């Protein structure tokens, strides 16, 4: 199969995976707020969910060896359906366990797709593929956050959950139809697989992997803050849940510009692209917090901050993809994608403390300061990138 065709097919897989996740993206925090009652409790819930997701994700490499990759995808679909049923119950226990299972299901899809990308996309094409992948994902990430809330508010509570499960099933079907259901033969001799207690140490002992993980965690933490607390801000300021969903859709919808940012990164270097992106996102996020006394101005500035944060996606996960060794992709990928779980429990843990003392705008001040710190960390990216 030609590399260009393979790249397009995998971008389509990420489109389906993105719709599976985004159609319930704003539904989940709004549902959690409705059941739990206040933003501080929502933060505590997301801390627990993130920790559980992190531990569950570390077991996926073992599952890929036992069940093979297609088996892990099938398990992900089963767990996703169970999670949506639990969330549908609108009970505290149902919401907590439903969120945990949802995180694990998305991790199954993400790890299997990432492993296939590393096996089928040439190393020198990974940077271009990352920009294309994010571009293909732009439509679900643009429409999904708003559409999920709209369908739930205007049609039926269960509609977003049904769409999420259906697109996940379509992903598995497409995976089989295009002939990717079997695990590829390793292209390089494999070393003895590290056990879960050791590959965390192995990962974080490599400076380039450690840097790629830290920057990805910072980026994901900002988006996690935006996707959870922007809808909460819209509700608490009187703008309404649908406006909150629209804020997330518009903010994430700036993904359409990712090919431009990717081109600029290749032209002038990913190092400078990331420094500018993180710094601008941090400054504008703090400015948005300062304007939140005027709901419309605060919401608009927060969306502008999302535009700045989207610049970072021009690099995608290129730093990691170009640094990982072929013989340990499965184990190292499981650790790398844990940045998503970290961004789901560490920031909410900090935000729960912040909210116990300050009002909601302080969350965005904290997030802005974190992004400025990430801009400083970008100075350690090799200049050749």
pLDDT in tens, 50-83: 788 777 877 887 888 888 888 888 998 999 999 8
Is residue 200 situated within a structural domain? yes
Find the CATH number of the domain harbouring 98.
1.20.1250.20
Banded model confidence at residue 4, pLDDT cuts 50, 70, 90 = low
Structural domain for 216, as ranges: 3-181+196-380
Task: Please report the DSSP string for 312-348 in residue order.
Answer: GGGTTTHHHHTTS-GGGHHHHHHHHTHHHHHHHHHHH
Is residue 191 situated within a structural domain? no
Sign of CA dihedral 314, 320, 326, 330: negative
Whether 127 shows a pLDDT value over 70: the answer reads no
3-state secondary structure of 17: helix
Do residues 167 and 22 touch, judged by C-beta distance below 8 A?
no
Is residue 202 situated within a structural domain? yes
Is residue 51 situated within a structural domain? yes
Is residue 354 situated within a structural domain? yes
Q: Residue 24 and residue 166: Cα distance in Å, rounded?
A: 13
Q: What is the pLDDT of residue 287?
A: 95
Banded model confidence at residue 185, pLDDT cuts 50, 70, 90 = very low
Q: Residue 373 and residue 375: Cα distance in Å, rounded?
A: 5
3-state secondary structure of 93: helix
Q: What is the CA radius of gyration of the chain?
A: 20
> Which residue is associated with the tokens 């431009």?
260
Is residue 385 situated within a structural domain? no
Each residue's pLDDT tens digit, 241-254: 888 888 888 888 88
- Element containing residue 381 per DSSP (H, E): none
**Each residue of 162-179: b (16+ CB within 10 Å) or e?**
ebbbebbeebbeebeeee
Q: Residue 299 and residue 229: Cα distance in Å, rounded?
A: 11
- Across 16-25, 109-118, 120-129, 138-147, the highest mean pLDDT is recorded for 16-25
Is residue 243 situated within a structural domain? yes
Do residues 288 and 302 touch, judged by C-beta distance below 8 A?
yes
Sequence-separated (6 or more) residues with CB below 8 Å from residue 178: 9
Do residues 81 and 165 touch, judged by C-beta distance below 8 A?
yes
For the chain, the domain total comes to 1
Do residues 260 and 135 touch, judged by C-beta distance below 8 A?
no
pTM of the complete model beyond 0.85: no
Q: Please count the residues of the chain.
A: 385
Cβ count within 10 A of residue 122: 11
Is residue 272 situated within a structural domain? yes
């Amino acid at each position: 199969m030609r590399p260009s065709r393979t790249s397009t097919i995998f971008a389509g897989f990420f489109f389906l995976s993105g719709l599976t996740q985004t159609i319930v993206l704003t539904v989940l925090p709004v549902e959690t707020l409705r059941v739990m009652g206040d933003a501080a409790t929502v933060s505590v819930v997301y801390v627990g969910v993130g920790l559980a997701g992190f531990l569950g994700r570390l077991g996926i490499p073992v599952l890929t060896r036992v069940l093979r990759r297609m088996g892990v995808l099938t398990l992900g679909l089963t767990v996703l359906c169970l999670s949506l049923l639990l969330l549908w119950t609108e009970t505290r226990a149902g919401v907590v366990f439903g969120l945990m299972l949802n995180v694990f299901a998305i991790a199954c899809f993400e790890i299997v797709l990432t492993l296939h990308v590393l096996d089928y996309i040439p190393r020198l094409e990974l940077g271009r593929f990352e920009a294309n992948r994010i571009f293909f994902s732009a439509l679900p990430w643009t429409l999904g956050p708003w559409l999920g809330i709209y369908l739930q508010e205007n049609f039926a509570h269960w509609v977003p959950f049904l769409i999420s499960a259906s697109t996940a099933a379509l992903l598995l079907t497409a995976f089989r139809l295009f002939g990717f259901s079997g695990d590829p033969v390793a292209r390089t001799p494999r070393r003895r697989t590290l056990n879960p207690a050791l590959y965390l140490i192995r990962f974080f002992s490599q400076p380039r992997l450690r840097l790629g993980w830290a920057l990805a965690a910072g980026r994901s933490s900002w988006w996690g803050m935006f996707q959870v607390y922007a809808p909460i801000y819209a509700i608490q300021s009187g703008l309404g849940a649908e406006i909150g969903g629209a804020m997330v859709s518009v903010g994430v919808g700036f993904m359409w510009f990712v090919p431009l940012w990717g081109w600029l990164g290749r032209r002038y270097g990913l190092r400078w692209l990331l420094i500018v992106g993180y710094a601008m996102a941090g400054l504008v996020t703090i400015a948005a917090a300062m304007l939140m006394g005027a709901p419309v101005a605060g919401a608009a500035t927060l969306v502008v901050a999302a535009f700045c944060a989207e610049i970072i996606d021009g690099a995608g996960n290129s730093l990691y993809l170009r640094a990982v060794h072929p013989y340990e992709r499965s184990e190292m990928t499981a650790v790398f994608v844990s940045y998503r779980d970290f961004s789901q429990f560490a920031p909410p843990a900090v935000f729960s403390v912040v909210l116990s003392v300050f009002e909601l705008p302080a969350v965005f001040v904290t997030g802005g300061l974190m992004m400025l710190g990430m801009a400083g960390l970008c100075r350690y990216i090799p200049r050749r990138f």
